[in-house]
Every structure is written in C-alpha cells, then in structure tokens.
C-alpha cells in the first residue's frame, strides 16, 4: 500500500501547486463566456484568404473553450462556407491560446516557455491553414458550395459538451457549441443577435458565470485533468527519475514522438495537460517535449479525429493529424536545439518560478483543491453514476461519429 499512498500524496501535491491558477483560469474563462457576443462567430469566418485565417486564429485566442469544443464549432463553420484551412487553423489555435490556458501556462511553465509556445502555435496554425486552403480549395467548392459566409442551419443543434440537461432539447435558432459557446444559425447579416449569456444585468451575468464555471465548464475539465494527473503521479512514483530524463529529456526527435504517442490515449484538454507537463518537467522532461505535448496531445485524440473524418473527409483529417505532428515535433526540436541553447541559462528551466516563489497561501491552495475535488465528484456522478438529475452528455456524445468511435475504442 505504500506505493498507493505515494501516488496519492504526489497527486495532492500537484493539485495544491496548480489548483489556485486553475481556478483563476476557470474564472477568467467564465468572464469571457458571459461577455463575448455570439455575433462574433458569424463575422469571423470567411471562405478562404489571409484575413479570414488571421481572424480565426485571433478568435481562437479569445474564446474560453476546451479541446473537444473546437470540433462542433469547426464543423459548423465549414458547413457554413468557411475554408478548410481556416477551420483547421482555428481548431489548432483555440484550445492552446485560450486566456485561461495561457495564464495557467505562465504560472506553471514560466513566461518564456509560454511565449515560445504561443509563437509556435500562431505560426504553425497560420502555415497549416494556408496550405490547407490551397490543398482543399477545389474540395470546398465541390463538397460545400454555400454562398453565405457562416450559416449553420445545416448543423443539428447540439448540447454543450459541458452543459446540463436543462438545454437538452434541440432548438432551431441556435446550435450551442462545446463548453457553453454558441453558434448562430443565421448568416452574418443577422449577426447582431447576442447569446443570452452576454445579456442581462450585472447580477444575472455574475450568476450565469458562477453557474457555468462551477457546474458546466469546471467539472468537465477537472475530471479530464484528474485522469491526466493520476497518470502523471503514477509515472512519477513508479518510474525512476533517470528513466524519465532518458525517455523525455534526451532532446531527440524520438523522445518528442514518444511524448506525443503517450499523449494519444490519455485525453486531456489544454488546461488539464499543462499541470501534467509541469509535473513531468520537474522530473526532467525537456522544454521542447513539453511544448510538443501541449500542442499535439489535446488535439489528436481518436474520437475527434474520426468526427472530423466523417464530417469533412478523411483527406482533411489525415492532413490535420500529420500537420499537427509536424508542428509539434518541429516546435520541440527547434526549442531544444536552436532557441534555448542561445538564451540565458535561467530560461532553460521554466517552471522553477513556481518553486522559487511560494506566493500562494496554503489556505488558498487547499481551498482550490477542495473546489477541484468537488467539481470532479460532480462530473464523476454525471459520467459514471448517471444519477437522473445529473444527466449530462459530452460533446463526443453529441456528435454521432465520435460516439461510435468511442464505442469502438
């Protein structure tokens, strides 16, 4: 039983270290959720071109969305006439560049590593989108010849992947996206309509924000985080540190591919992946491997890839998967071999800022742990126990192809 206790203590330690920053990220995500108008979606996506591509990447850096949420939004935008490359660029940038994920990365991994991560994601998303628009230019006109910029009436209304049962019924007016974001069914001309979350008095907005954070978004992300952290705590407890350094700290292409391979079956959203990466970096993982994990890990789970294949095509899904791997491996290799060796020694040890300054009060850390554990229990009841008044479906269950893929897996 000693090793089980060691795993538990390691898990609690990671939660206490990252908990306050995770909760702060949740609150920022909730604030953006109630402030961003839904009409922003209808104006952001064009068919092809540089500006629609840049706008899609910019939107991805603003919206609070988990990794599973980019699939229904991306498919809806594509069916509304957006370019294939533009959609893929948005799906690459959105989970990693969300304000909550960036804030958590700054606190745990350091400003410098987070800055390079953002640069690689922005540049990689843009290049991926440009090549995608060129490769699939004829494919868009042939398979999706829609005249309007963004018109999502072809997308069946889906419940939020983080939403409760009160929104279960389908509505013809809107198609709620993952994690509470919503997509307008009308075209851009009717885009001055706002989501109910972005309207109302200050008191109403605050109530909606708290409900969304602690009942919808937070529990879903927290449980995904728990799965990844249990995996990390188990590895850190049972695998000797020398092995971790050898496998993930050797700064080779093979170590980068190994990190991505490990991330494939362990689905985590971006916010959940950052504490996992932080714990591995403390054991010797190279910064390049950490960035590769954050870029590729949350976006390459099999269910979402299968949904993309079914809705847009296997060629697009294959291109997206391969391009993500190239971006992740390229970013990790450049960071380890060209960028960090040329920078001061202090920058090569991101994450040490957390250990160097224990500014987080112990009571705040343990209060954050209590909130996270409570949200994990809520989501466990929804997914496992399935108590009727806790009924909930993930976004993968909202997309039939993803449900079938999960059953096959």
* pLDDT per residue as tens digits for the range 80-99: 677 888 888 988 888 788 88
pTM, entire model: 0.65
9 pLDDT above the threshold of 80: yes
Torsion-angle region of 157 (φ positive above 0: left; ψ -120 to 50: alpha; else: beta): beta
Mean pLDDT check: name the lowest of 140-154, 197-211, 325-339, 383-397: 140-154
Confidence at 143, pLDDT banded by 50, 70, 90:
low
113 pLDDT above the threshold of 50: yes
Query: Residue 175 phi/psi, 5° resolution?
Result: -125, 95
286 pLDDT above the threshold of 70: yes
Q: Which residues of 380-398 are buried (b: 16+ CB within 10 A; e: fewer)?
A: ebbbeeeeeebebbbbbbb
The residue count of the chain comes to 409
171 pLDDT above the threshold of 60: no
Interval 323-338 mean pLDDT: 91
Query: Residue 185 phi/psi, 5° resolution?
Result: -85, -20
Beta-bridged to residue 137, according to DSSP, are none
pLDDT cut 70: percent of the chain above it: 62
Interval 33-61 mean pLDDT: 72
Interval 256-261 mean pLDDT: 83
CA 169, distance to chain mean position in Å, is 26
Residue scoring higher pLDDT (390 or 338): 338
| Predicted pLDDT of residue 72 | 64
**Mean residue pLDDT across the chain:** 71
Pair 248, 30: CB distance under 8 Å: no
Helix, strand, coil distribution of the chain in percent, nearest 5: 75, 0, 25
Interval 27-56 mean pLDDT: 72
Residue scoring higher pLDDT (346 or 365): 365
Beta-bridged to residue 153, according to DSSP, are none
| Predicted pLDDT of residue 118 | 93
């Amino acid at each position: 039983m000693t090793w089980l206790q060691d795993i538990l203590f390691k898990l609690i330690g990671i939660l206490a270290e990252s908990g306050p920053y995770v909760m702060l990220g949740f609150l920022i995500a909730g604030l953006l959720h109630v402030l961003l108008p839904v009409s922003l979606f209808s104006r952001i996506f064009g068919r092809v071109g540089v500006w629609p591509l840049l706008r899609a990447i910019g939107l991805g850096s603003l919206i609070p969305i988990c990794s599973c949420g980019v699939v229904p939004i991306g498919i809806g935008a594509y069916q509304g006439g957006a370019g294939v490359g533009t959609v893929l660029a948005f799906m690459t940038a959105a989970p990693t560049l969300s304000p909550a994920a960036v804030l958590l990365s700054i606190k745990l991994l350091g400003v410098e590593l987070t800055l390079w991560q953002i640069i690689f994601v922005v540049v990689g998303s843009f290049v991926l989108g440009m090549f995608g628009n060129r490769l699939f230019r004829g494919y868009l006109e042939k398979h999706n010849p829609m005249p309007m910029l963004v018109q999502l009436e072809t997308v069946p209304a889906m419940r939020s992947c983080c939403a409760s049962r009160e929104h279960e019924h389908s509505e013809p007016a809107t198609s709620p996206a993952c994690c509470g974001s919503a997509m307008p069914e009308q075209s851009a001309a009717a885009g001055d309509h706002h989501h109910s979350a972005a309207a109302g008095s200050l008191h109403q907005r605050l109530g909606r924000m708290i409900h969304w954070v602690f009942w919808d978004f937070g529990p879903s992300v927290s449980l995904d985080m728990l799965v990844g952290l249990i995996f990390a705590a188990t590895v850190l407890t049972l695998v000797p540190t020398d092995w971790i350094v050898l496998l993930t700290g050797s700064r080779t292409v093979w170590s980068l591919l190994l990190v991505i391979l490990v991330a494939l079956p362990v689905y985590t959203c971006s916010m959940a992946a950052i504490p996992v990466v932080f714990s591995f970096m403390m054991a010797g993982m190279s910064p390049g491997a950490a960035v590769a994990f954050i870029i590729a890990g949350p976006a390459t789970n099999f269910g979402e890839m299968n949904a993309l294949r079914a809705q847009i095509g296997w060629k697009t899904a294959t291109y997206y998967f391969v391009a993500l791997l190239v971006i992740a491996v390229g970013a990790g290799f450049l960071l380890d071999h060209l960028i960090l060796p040329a920078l001061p020694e202090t920058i090569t040890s991101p994450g040490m800022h957390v250990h160097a300054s224990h500014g987080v009060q112990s009571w705040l850390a343990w209060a954050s742990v209590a909130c996270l554990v409570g949200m994990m229990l809520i989501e466990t009841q929804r997914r496992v126990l399935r108590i009727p008044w806790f009924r909930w479906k993930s976004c993968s269950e909202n997309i039939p192809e993803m449900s079938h893929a999960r059953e096959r897996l």
